[in-house]
Amino acid sequence: MANIKKTKGVIGILTGGGDVPGLNPAIRAVTIRALREGYQVIGLRRGWLGISSIIRDKAADNSEWYQVLTEEVVNKAGRTGGTFLHTSRTRPSSMAKSDVPAHLRETYTAEKNDLTPEVIKNLDYLGIDYLIPIGGDDTLSYGVRLYQEGVKVVAIPKTMDNDVPGTEYCIGFSTCVTRTIQLTHSLRTSAGSHERLLVLEVFGRYAGFTAMLPTMAGAADRCVIPEHKFDMDRLTELLVYDRNKNPSKYSVVLVSEGAMYEGGEMVFQNASTDAYGHAKLGGIGDLVSAELKERSAKFNNGKKLNIITQKLGYMVRGGDPDALDSIVPMAYGNLALDLLLDGVHGRLVVLRNGRYDNMPIDAVTSSKKLVDVSKFYNTERLRPSYKSFEMKPLLIMTSE
C-alpha cells in the first residue's frame, strides 16, 4: 500500500470527459466537507487514465497520477473554471493497445483491453474506500462498472449538454447557456451592420438543450437540434422571413453540432474516435451556412444573402463558472458526502423536480436524456414550443 495515512477513511475524486466551469467548485465542496468530517481526500489526476496508470511500487513516482488534497489546494482552485485535476477521455474497460500504460504492456496485448482489474488493485493500493467520479454519461458509465465490481461509488453529473439521464441539471450547463446568450448578442452587431444571416454552431451531440434554452431566452430566432431532422429549405425560408421583418435586417439561428438535415447525416471533423467510440463533431454550421446562402435567393426575390458563421466551441466552456455553476457543484459535493457518511453508495446525485436528490447510479446507462420534441420543439417553426410555464422545472424542458 502507498504511504498514505488513514483517518476515518479515504475518498478518491476524479473528473473525466470535457472540461466545464463548476468542476473545481465541486472538488472543493467534497474536499472541505470530507476533511472536516475526518476523512482524507485523494485527487485522481487525468480522470480514469490516472487510476489506470498507477505503479504499485513504493519506489515509483506516481505524482503525475494523484495528489493528496488539502483545504489550501482546493480553496485556490474553487472559484475558477476547468479542472485542476485535469481530465481525459479514457475508458479502462476497453483501452486500445497503444494507450495501455507502459508497465502493463506485457500483460495486456490485445487490440482492446479491460484494465478494470488493475484499476481495482490501484484503488486498493491507494487505500481509497470511496470513489466520487464527476463526469458525463461516458465517464459515469465506467463508474457504474466499478460499482458492479464492488467499488463504493457516488457519482456527480457534469456536462454542458445537460444530457446525463436522471437529473434536471448537470454541472456546466448554466455557464454554457449564459455564454451562448452573451456571445450571440455580441455578434448581433456584425450581423446587423452587414444585414446578414447569423449562423452559430453550439455544442450538443445527441441533445439540443444548449441550442433550445438560449433560443427560448431570445438569443436566436430559430434553432436546429439533433432530435429532429430539419428541412433546409424551410430553415432558409424562416430565416429570410425573420431578417426581412427585422428593422436591422438580420436573423439568427443556433445549430447544434449533432443536428442533421433531411437527406444528410452528422458532420464530423475527421474519422478518428475517442475511447468511447465518438467521432469529433464539427462543421454542420459551415454546411448550413453554405446551403443558406445558395438557397436564400429562392426566398429573397432572386438575390442571395451573405452569411456570418461562427463556431462558439470552447468559448462557452472556458473561464469561470456562473452563479448556478458555483452553487450547484457545492450542493452536489455535499450531497455525495451525505450519502457516504450514511454508508450509502451506488448512487447519482441529482436535481429532480427542482429539488436535490439521488438515484441509482445505473440510471446513467439505462436510458438517454433528449429534448422531448413533441412537448418542447415546434418542428414547423424550428424553435422551442411552450404554452404554459406553470409547474415546469427551473430550466423548463430538462426534466425526465
Model pLDDT, residue 1: 45
Rounded Cα distance between 56 and 187, Å, is: 53
Asked whether the predicted pLDDT for residue 194 surpasses 80, the reply is yes
Write out pLDDT tens, residues 25-75.
999 999 999 999 999 999 999 999 999 999 999 999 999 999 999 999 999
Cell digits of residue 16: 473525466
Same fold: 10-171+321-366 with 174-313+373-384? yes
- The Cα 262–Cα 7 span in angstroms is 60
Q: Quote the CA–CA distance of 158 and 165 in Å, as a whole number.
A: 11
pLDDT of residue 155: 98
Residues 6+ apart with CB under 8 A from 241: 299
Q: Does domain 10-171+321-366 have CATH number 3.40.50.450?
A: yes
Residue 290 has pLDDT above 80, yes or no: yes
Task: Give me the mean pLDDT over the 256-261 stretch.
Answer: 94
Please say whether the beta carbons of 140 and 364 come within 8 A.
yes
Q: By three-state DSSP, how is residue 234 classified?
A: helix
Q: Which sign does the torsion angle of CA 128, 131, 134, 136 carry?
A: positive
Distance CA 171, CA 265 (A): 29
DSSP 3-state of 346: coil
Clarify whether 221 is annotated catalytic.
no
The whole-model pTM stands at 0.92
pLDDT of residue 3: 46
- Does residue 398 carry a pLDDT above 50? yes
Sorted by where each begins, the domain ranges of the chain are 10-171+321-366, 174-313+373-384
- The sign of the dihedral angle between the CA atoms of 278, 367, 52, 330 is positive
Reduced to 3 states, what is the DSSP secondary structure of residue 157?
strand
Active-site residue identified among 161, 163, 242, 325: 161
Which band of pLDDT confidence, cut at 50, 70 and 90, is reported for residue 117? very high
174-313+373-384 has which fold?
A: Rossmann fold (3.40.50)
* DSSP string computed for 217-279: TTS-SEEE-TTSPBPHHHHHHHHHHHHHHSTT--EEEEEETT--BTT----EEEEEE-TTSPE
Distance set, CA 150 to CA 79, 121, 131 (Å): 34, 12, 11
Instruction: Name the strand (E) or helix (H) holding 36.
Output: helix 23-36
| Per-residue pLDDT at 289 exceeds 50 | yes
What are the tens digits of pLDDT across the range 126-182?
999 999 999 999 999 999 999 999 999 999 999 999 999 999 999 999 999 999 999
Mean pLDDT taken over the chain: 93
Q: Which of 61-70, 255-264, 305-314 has the lowest mean pLDDT?
A: 255-264
